[in-house]
Amino acid sequence: MAGSALRTLLNRLRWDAAADAEAVVLVVRVRHGPHEREEEFLFAEIGDILAAGVTSADGTFLPYHRVVAVRRRGEELWASAR
């Protein structure tokens, strides 16, 4: 399952001191009215890593199916199958 692999990666980034997590961004599909666009969220602003998604520092829930990619300094660490 994609969510499982993504959750494993995010936990590894959180707990591995050598992961350079400060440079990681999540690219997420976000709806604005009838339109959808991609936005970047800093990994450092992720609060909890849960079974179905993550929460941002402000409490917003971001489900894994909305995550398009995880990147670090332009390198793609994970991408959805789309």
pTM of model > 0.85: yes
Count structural domains, the chain.
1
Per-residue pLDDT at 82: 66
Examine the pLDDT at 7 and tell me if it is beyond 60: yes
Contacts 24+ apart (CB under 8 A), 6-15: 6/64, 6/67, 6/70, 6/78, 7/49, 7/51, 7/64, 9/70, 9/77, 9/78, 10/43, 10/46, 10/49, 10/54, 10/70, 11/49, 13/43, 13/70, 13/77, 14/46, 14/49
Mean pLDDT of the chain: 93
Domain range for 17: 2-79
